[in-house]
């Protein structure tokens, strides 16, 4: 027992460090893209070199976009980090639960007004109750990747995919995709043209593509039953129905097994191995393709949408300081460094993350040419509504998505259930 107490004491002392050295704990989740990780590591090394008295220590912790259980438990028990990489759209929710420190006082001390420095949508995401709880770091956009060779071999005219023509209609797109479905003797799928819910094919993607809105700020209501959103989910429902939901699920679980459980190695991703001909995902796919299948003949174009609506959405991360951080001042310095011009520029170069600083927007020189299409989507990209129930909303929308792609619930019903569950929680915050 003494040993255990000693261990605890050592951990506490760790934060103070030897010789008055301040150690800052920087946590990020295990689902962080490895290229981004490299960027952070690089920046941390640079920061550490500046001042030997302030050292950043990186720790990777279990966690995904909406699962911050590790962070919360740690903070609750006083063992939390000084800096955490938090998915930007959940900042409001975490702030509302009292998990994060208000950065206002630190900004005041510095005498800086940062709101104009960052892209509007990114800045809005880090605000809650008129207070700043994080600084935005990077962002991204999503588009449709297609395998030119596979499509050509199936006799598809690639001209349809030319971005200059704008987004394809969902009907035409489905027609094309289904031409590439192949089954084996037992009837199980061995190849599919497209699976709308893989990778970034979330309900959000299709909801936005079909012109939907997820939140009504005027009435402070979440709007999962908005016609556009329902249409997006119907798209998923019908696609699953026409593929056969169990067969589709088996295909995905065989070749993908994502997102909750372990997967096959990155190089065996279905788009890379030719198991699917098209994929809806973000610009981070580009370095993956470059690494594993550089000879893949692929193209990118708009996400299929009715009425030629060019749609996409942006996510991204932010850096926050949780409550109970032992060295908030030093932590703030670190955050400013990473989210500042130098940090974002480096991250862009190393990981392909798009900067959220207005000063760096339009800096095409930071990215190889293949990123251009994704950059062009930034102006039309939407972002997820920053709500104090953001993470809950996302999880419930995911549940609805699952119900719809297994055809166990109709879109309207599933989305109605989302509203019924999330709205009361949101109202809770109005009081």
Residue 341 is a binding residue for other proteins (CB under 8 A): no
Of residues 238-257, those binding other proteins (CB under 8 A)? 246, 249-250, 252-255, 257
Of residues 70-109, those binding other proteins (CB under 8 A)? 70, 72-80, 97-99
- Tell the smallest beta-carbon distance from residue 260 to other proteins (Å): 4
Of residues 106-135, those binding other proteins (CB under 8 A)? none
- Cβ distance to other proteins smaller for residue 169 or 406: 406
Segment near other proteins (CB under 8 A); pick from 68-76, 121-129, 302-310, 352-360: 68-76
What's phi and psi for 248, nearest 5 deg? -65, -45
- The span from the CA of 383 to the CA of 354, in Å, is 14
- Tell the smallest beta-carbon distance from residue 138 to other proteins (Å): 16
Residue 41 is a binding residue for other proteins (CB under 8 A): no
298 backbone φψ class: left, alpha, beta (φ>0; ψ -120 to 50): beta
Burial (CB count <10 Å: 0-12, 13-18, 19+), residue 108? exposed
Residue 11 is a binding residue for other proteins (CB under 8 A): yes
Q: Residue 58 to residues 34, 84, 285, 339, 377: CA-CA distances in angstroms? A: 14, 10, 25, 16, 32
**Contacts with other proteins: how many residues (CB under 8 A)?**
61
DSSP 250-283: HHHHHHT--SSS--S-GGG-HHHHTSBSEEEEET
Residue 55 is a binding residue for other proteins (CB under 8 A): no
Instruction: Identify the CA nearest to 327 among candidates 125, 51, 66.
Output: 51
- The span from the CA of 27 to the CA of 22, in Å, is 16
- Cβ distance to other proteins smaller for residue 118 or 255: 255
- The span from the CA of 290 to the CA of 266, in Å, is 12
- Tell the smallest beta-carbon distance from residue 81 to other proteins (Å): 9
Instruction: For CA atoms 122, 126, 129, 132, give the dihedral sign.
Output: negative
Among 41, 115, 263, 359, binds other proteins (CB under 8 A): 263
What's phi and psi for 348, nearest 5 deg? -60, -45
- Tell the smallest beta-carbon distance from residue 94 to other proteins (Å): 9
Among 220, 268, 342, 359, binds other proteins (CB under 8 A): 268
Among 42, 48, 55, 323, binds other proteins (CB under 8 A): 323
Residue 399 is a binding residue for other proteins (CB under 8 A): yes
H-helix or E-strand spanning residue 22: strand 22-29
- Tell the smallest beta-carbon distance from residue 11 to other proteins (Å): 6
Kindly provide the residue ranges of all beta strands, DSSP E only, lying in 122-206, ordered along the sequence: 127-128, 131-132, 134-139, 142-147, 182-183, 189-191
State the Rg of the chain over Cα.
23
Query: Do 115 and 87 form a contact (C-beta atoms < 8 A)?
Result: no
Residue 4 is a binding residue for other proteins (CB under 8 A): yes
Residue 151 is a binding residue for other proteins (CB under 8 A): no
Residue 162 is a binding residue for other proteins (CB under 8 A): no
Binding site for other proteins (CB under 8 A): 1, 3-5, 7-8, 11, 30-34, 59-62, 64, 67-70, 72-80, 97-99, 186, 188, 246, 249-250, 252-255, 257, 260-268, 273, 323, 392, 399, 402-403, 406, 408, 417
């Amino acid at each position: 027992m003494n040993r255990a107490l000693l261990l605890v004491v050592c951990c506490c002392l760790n934060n103070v460090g030897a010789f008055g050295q301040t150690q800052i704990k920087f946590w990020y989740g295990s689902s962080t893209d490895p290229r981004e990780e490299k960027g952070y590591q690089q920046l941390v090394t640079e920061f550490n070199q500046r001042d030997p008295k302030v050292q950043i220590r990186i720790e990777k912790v279990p966690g995904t976009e909406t699962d911050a259980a590790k962070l919360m438990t740690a903070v609750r028990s006083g063992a939390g980090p000084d800096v955490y990489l938090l998915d930007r759209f959940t900042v409001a929710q975490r702030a509302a639960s009292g998990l994060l420190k208000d950065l206002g006082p630190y900004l005041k001390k510095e005498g800086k007004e940062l709101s104009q420095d960052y892209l509007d949508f990114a800045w809005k995401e880090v605000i809650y109750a008129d207070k700043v709880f994080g600084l935005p770091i990077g962002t991204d956009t999503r588009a449709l990747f297609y395998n030119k060779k596979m499509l050509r071999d199936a006799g598809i005219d690639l001209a349809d995919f030319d971005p200059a023509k704008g987004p394809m209609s969902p009907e035409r797109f489905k027609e094309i995709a289904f031409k590439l479905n192949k089954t084996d003797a037992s009837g199980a799928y061995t190849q599919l043209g497209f699976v709308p819910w893989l990778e970034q094919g979330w309900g959000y993607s299709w909801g936005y593509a079909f012109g939907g809105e997820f939140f009504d700020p005027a009435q402070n209501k979440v709007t999962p039953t908005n016609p556009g959103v329902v249409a997006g989910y119907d798209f998923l429902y019908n696609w699953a129905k026409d593929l056969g939901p169990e067969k589709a699920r088996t295909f995905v679980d065989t070749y993908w097994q994502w997102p909750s459980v372990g997967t096959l190695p990155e190089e065996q991703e279905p788009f890379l191995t030719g198991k699917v001909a098209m994929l809806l995902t973000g610009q981070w796919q580009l370095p993956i393709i470059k690494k594993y299948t550089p000879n893949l003949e692929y193209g990118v174009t708009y996400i299929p949408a009715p009425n030629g609506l060019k749609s996409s959405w942006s996510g991204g991360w932010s850096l926050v300081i949780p409550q109970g951080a032992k060295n908030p001042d030093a932590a703030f310095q670190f955050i400013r460094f990473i989210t500042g011009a130098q940090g974002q520029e480096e991250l862009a170069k190393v990981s392909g993350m798009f900067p959220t600083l207005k000063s760096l927007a339009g800096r095409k020189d930071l990215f190889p040419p293949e990123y251009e299409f994704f950059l062009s989507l930034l102006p039309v990209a939407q972002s997820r509504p920053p709500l104090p129930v953001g993470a809950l909303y996302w999880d419930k929308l995911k549940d609805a998505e699952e119900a719809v792609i297994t055809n166990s619930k109709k879109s309207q019903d599933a989305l109605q259930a989302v509203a019924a569950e999330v709205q009361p929680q949101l109202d809770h915050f109005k009081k």
